[in-house]
């Protein structure tokens, strides 16, 4: 088992592939292009990609449950260290990224599920802005990015791919100082 876990949140299936709610899955796909896995484990409720970055063993995980049940992966995965969770944030505008060491769910059902299953809200997060919402929140998060929005998200995902190894190697404070002030427009 790896020393570190990174979970990219999203909903499984083609229908949801490029929706705002799936930026965590988009992150995982991009991360694995830069850091190809040396093994892949597919289970009913998750896909785990084993990666090594400069001697650090890392499990990169896509939960295969729907977003609201993301925490179910912790019924069979037992992280040694708190997992780093990468997910969409409706309260941050597109182009913003926020790295935090812990916090509440902030209304995000995937994070609520993880907090419930881990029994703590003390785990690092990389929040990717998908707001401001336009109309109904569910319709917004399950909607697709416009082409101009996706150009911005594409750049933010690249920054996330840079930031996660910094969290692992230098710590959360260093990553927050380097990346929280960046805004893509």
Q: Which residues contact 123 (CB under 8 A, 6 or more apart)?
A: 82, 83, 84, 85, 102, 114
- Which of the residues 21, 108, 117, 144 is marked catalytic? 21
CB 41 within 8 A of CB 48: yes
Question: Would residue 117 show up in a list of annotated catalytic residues for this protein?
Answer: no
Which candidate, 131, 122, 64, 119, places its Cα nearest to that of 93? 131
Q: Where are the alpha helices (DSSP H) in the chain?
A: 23-34, 109-118, 137-141, 147-170, 172-179
For residue 87, the number of C-alpha atoms closer than 13 Å in the C-beta half-sphere is: 30
d(CA 127, CA 109): 14
The set of long-range contacts for 148-151, using a CB threshold of 8 Å and a minimum separation of 24, is: 149/94, 150/18
Q: Report helix angle 147-170 to 172-179, nearest 10.
A: 150
Q: Tell me the catalytic residues.
A: 21
């Amino acid at each position: 088992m790896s020393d570190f876990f990174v979970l990219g949140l999203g909903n499984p299936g083609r229908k949801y592939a490029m929706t705002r709610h799936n930026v965590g899955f988009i992150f995982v796909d991009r991360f694995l292009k830069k850091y190809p896995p040396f093994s892949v484990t597919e289970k009913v409720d998750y896909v785990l990609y084993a990666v090594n970055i400069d001697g650090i063993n890392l499990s990169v995980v896509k939960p295969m449950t729907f977003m609201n049940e993301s925490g179910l992966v912790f019924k069979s995965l037992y992280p040694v260290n708190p997992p780093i969770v990468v997910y969409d944030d409706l309260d941050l505008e597109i182009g913003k990224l926020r790295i935090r060491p812990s916090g509440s769910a902030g209304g995000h059902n995937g994070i609520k599920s993880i907090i419930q299953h881990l029994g703590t809200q003390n785990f690092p997060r990389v929040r990717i802005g998908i707001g401001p919402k336009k109309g109904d929140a569910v319709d917004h998060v399950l909607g697709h990015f416009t082409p101009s929005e996706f150009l911005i998200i594409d750049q933010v995902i690249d920054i996330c791919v840079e930031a996660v190894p910094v969290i692992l190697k230098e710590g959360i404070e260093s990553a927050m100082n380097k990346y929280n002030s960046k805004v893509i427009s």
